[in-house]
Structure 1
């Protein structure tokens, strides 16, 4: 366990990945906060395995306001939070086969109507941005604002800010149970007893299990396995290659270094929450799909890994008080866009828990679509 453990706290956050860490940083200046993390290292299962990028259209139209509002914090954080930004420009292409023009049209038009800077492009422009793209891939939507996110740096900055503000972190501290008592909850974790006024469930893939351990009904959080591989190519593909995402959701890849890419089959295999590992078949599928798009010979699969991503039934993040017990608060179901939306979700939820209202673009986001009450 990392810090001296108190016997009481205002807010107990279960899970110290990006969701829990960002909320702790936003809330700790105003409330007593404690984080409990089952693993040796915060962010082990999802945050630490993410190939995260800020991509305004990722997650769909309902999620887009959270992503847009988070951009400024990620690009230009306050000096006391970080002395540098967490974004590196990359650009993105949502690409389609010649038979998928209508799908790309719909995608581009829908987000353009929401004010996203998105440009419909065709074969020649695609070929200039993706060297070696095959002739049948003629349709794409281009977004110049896409960026890579320094996930490790962002997560570490949130943990530092939380601890500077007085938050307590306990690692190797699996949550066991909680029961309602006067003024809050009697909590047990890793053999330690704690009184908490409020419990925040930021446990990712384990969110429904944590709810059950508190006597709260689940909302249906489902974890999925996502596979990634780093390939070394036998051609000099540039490191600044855009993020390339199939409009039909069958693959994405992006440049990692000169002649190297990160590739995913965009898989979402339902799993029970556990320490996932990549399946050889998923890596093979990813390579087969890549080779249908580009004519790049592959020299080696240098590494492969898998992580967890978790969704609510409607695939929209869930944050806010449980409809049956306002002392139990959800912060879950962020899917693959939890990192790019973390600043907005943390600030909006912290406001519900006693922090001042969020300023700027975040303060203009309506939290109502993300409330747990929609599952009542």
Structure 2
């Protein structure tokens, strides 16, 4: 039997970032059911940092993560992990109220959102169709080097002594006295003081395997398409619909990453894009710009997992000693990873919050809010 202080279930960005924070303070074993890390949601991200994305409840986590990504500790990464791009939130006349609501939502947040005229958008987005006259600029938006960020957390975890077992899933676990006894798919038995549930779309399933009801964390399918559009500029701001029905960005000369921002409830599995969602994405894109589409070069889908209130879940489960949630990161798990890991590490270790996240009310993300009476 293997004995460790903490067993982390899940080898995506969530699991590795938290394991890295715990390393050096406790003995940590991380298990991942797939043969490679970050196979599901973390490896299928469109990879941007946008302070308004996820709403006001998520924004403090994103904003706190920004400096940690832009100027990381040299011991963590060799250089910046994000690159400035900027964003336009665009709409038609009927979306004027949505623009005003967005300005109101973030008025006291410190996030820079500014009204822009159609001509300003058109200067960066030639081919913008008539009728798109409403715009908000969010100049702070950046692209994230997701592979670089995950690699940095994996190195940090390895240096701290974290053991990683791939192709290893959690079969079941039960609490016996002061420890959890866990069984894994490779037949190994593990004794640990704490189980960290960082299993993304599988988070509720992992809880049930540990004898707990889930928290209602639901996986939703998100579709992304890579288009070849020769008329598209090599670089322009992220373009997002004010109504939440699309976003797209340049991915090199003549190539576009596009999503219909779909959220279709699904079950945890290796999800693939549906042809209808691809068609919807392309139709929405063609309503915004008049660029010719030469080819659909690539398409993929990932699962974004949300709690019922759409806020992440960090902290100890009040129903079972030593069961810790680090899940429900929706589509913002990458851009909030640095702040989330600092908060999760402090909560799991019973330590003071690091300075970078000391101003964030972590109680907003406590799992107890979702436990049914």
Contact map agreement 2:316 2:348 (CA 8 A) in 1 = no
Q: How does 1:140-219 map to 2 (within 5 A)?
A: 140-190=135-185, 191-219=187-215
Which position in structure 2 is the counterpart of 1:84?
79
Which position in structure 1 is the counterpart of 2:122?
127
1:227 matched to 2:247? The reply is no
- The SS at the match of 2:284 is helix
- The SS at the match of 1:274 is coil
Q: Deviations over 1:181-240 (max 9, x none)?
A: 1221011012000101000100000000100000111100100111111111131x2222
Which position in structure 1 is the counterpart of 2:324?
329
1:12 matched to 2:7? The reply is yes
1:68 matched to 2:63? The reply is yes
Q: Distance in 1 between matches of 2:77 and 2:256?
A: 29
Q: Distance in 2 between matches of 1:60 and 1:326?
A: 32
1:247 matched to 2:246? The reply is no
Q: Distance in 1 between matches of 2:179 and 2:361?
A: 28
- From 40, 46, 49, give the equivalent of 1:51: 46
Q: Distance in 1 between matches of 2:153 and 2:75?
A: 11
Contact map agreement 1:30 1:355 (CA 8 A) in 2 = no
Which position in structure 1 is the counterpart of 2:100?
105
TM-score, scaled to structure 2: 0.97
Q: Distance in 2 between matches of 1:234 and 1:78?
A: 39
Measure how far apart 1:366 and its partner are.
Answer: 1.2
- From 275, 285, 288, give the equivalent of 2:283: 288
Measure how far apart 1:356 and its partner are.
Answer: 4.3
Q: Distance in 2 between matches of 1:80 and 1:159?
A: 13
Let me know the Cα RMSD of the aligned residues: 1.1
Q: Distance in 1 between matches of 2:352 and 2:163?
A: 24
Contact map agreement 1:27 1:355 (CA 8 A) in 2 = no
Q: Distance in 2 between matches of 1:199 and 1:231?
A: 42
Q: Distance in 2 between matches of 1:108 and 1:81?
A: 35
Q: Distance in 2 between matches of 1:375 and 1:284?
A: 36
- The SS at the match of 1:66 is helix
| Structure 2 spans left out of the alignment, 5+ residues | none
Measure how far apart 1:337 and its partner are.
Answer: 0.1
Measure how far apart 1:355 and its partner are.
Answer: 6.6
Contact map agreement 2:82 2:145 (CA 8 A) in 1 = yes
- The SS at the match of 2:94 is helix
Contact map agreement 1:186 1:195 (CA 8 A) in 2 = yes
Which position in structure 2 is the counterpart of 1:28?
23
Q: Distance in 1 between matches of 2:78 and 2:102?
A: 36
- The SS at the match of 1:348 is helix
Which position in structure 2 is the counterpart of 1:3?
none
Measure how far apart 1:84 and its partner are.
Answer: 1.1
Q: Deviations over 1:7-45 (max 9, x none)?
A: 111111100100010001111121111100000001101
Q: Deviations over 1:264-284 (max 9, x none)?
A: 111111111000111111111
TM-score, scaled to structure 1: 0.96
Number of residues of Structure 1 aligned to a counterpart in Structure 2: 370
Contact map agreement 1:58 1:337 (CA 8 A) in 2 = yes
- The SS at the match of 1:263 is strand
